[in-house]
Amino acid sequence: MQRRTLIRNLLAIVAVSLGASLAHADDKRITVGTMSGPDAQIWSVVTKVAAREGLAVKVIEFNDYVQPNAALDAGDLDANGFQHQPFLDSQIRQRGYKIVNVGLTYVSPMGFYSKKYKSLKDLPDGAKVGIQNDPSNGNRALLLLQKYGAIKLKPGVGTNGVNATPLDVVENPKKIKLVELDAAQLPRALDDLDAASINTDYAVKAGLQPTKDAIAIEDIKGPYANLIAVRVQDRNQPWVKKLVAAYESDEVRKYIDTQFKGAIIPAF
């Protein structure tokens, strides 16, 4: 009798262990690429939410806007989260990536910053103004300069699917000198420039608060919400839905609202 009881207990232990093993076998492990700074901070919260749903997420941090899409397309990442749709569209056109948007994350309005002037209107004749040298963000910078009356672009350029470049400037009353630099270099170049356009992730890392320190800033409504991207062949995988749901959770929304105080705004 005792022997049969012992056998039943052993079988129960084996069944529980086997069930736990099978449950862990169902867990999916993925790698997500993002930018160091605010993006990585947000993704650290996403990983905790995803883990509770059986999705293990490893976050890889990058320091430029080129590598995350190249790594995703090559299969070194399962997903990335760092860019907006116009930038992704530009990368797809230029490099032929098979990458698709599967969900929105947040909006981070681009702004112009200056250590010398409080408004773009205060810029002197011949001012040196830094803008991003990549087509998508450079386009945003030029449109923002136009919005604030510093320059005027050819009609339709920048909003018709064709990125504006400095060659498209048709009116420049103060003869502003546009200095094209890598986005990551712009905060460090502020001392040598009269003003510079800086993406929010780089601005925050440099100790700047967009809603407080920017002398000109984008409207929060527009096409520049950041997104989660995956390879086209993975778009319908179950883990993609889990990943997007984790980002869109109330926990992540609350973190963004409290941590960034309006500098970054949830887009979901």
Q: Give tens-digit pLDDT for 78-104.
A: 999 999 998 999 899 999 999 999 999
User: Exposed, middle or buried, 41 (CB in 10 Å: 0-12/13-18/19+)?
Assistant: middle
Question: Which residue from 52, 80, 108, 114 is spatially nearest to 220, judged by alpha carbons?
Answer: 108
pLDDT band (50, 70, 90) for residue 262: confident
Question: Which residue from 259, 197, 221 is spatially nearest to 37, judged by alpha carbons?
Answer: 259
Place of tokens 């672009």: 153
Question: Checking DSSP bridges between strand 79-84 and strand 195-198, what pairing results, if any?
Answer: unpaired
Computed on alpha carbons and rounded to an integer, the radius of gyration of the chain in Å comes to 23
The pair of three-digit structure tokens given for residue 109, joined into one six-digit string? 């309005």
Q: Which pTM was predicted? A: 0.71
H helix runs in 75-168, sequence order: 85-95, 135-147
Residue-range domains of the chain with CATH: 2-109+223-266 (3.40.190.10), 111-217 (3.40.190.10)
The pair of three-digit structure tokens given for residue 37, joined into one six-digit string? 């700074």
Residue 38 to residues 152, 182, 255, Cα–Cα distance (Å): 33, 19, 11
How many other CB atoms sit within 10 Å of the CB of residue 104?
A: 19
Rounded to the nearest 10 degrees, how much is the dihedral formed by the CA atoms of 156, 220, 33, 254? -170
Place of tokens 């999916």: 28
**Position 8, amino acid:** R
Is the pLDDT at 5 greater than 80? The verdict is no
pLDDT band (50, 70, 90) for residue 28: confident
Is the pLDDT at 10 greater than 50? The verdict is no
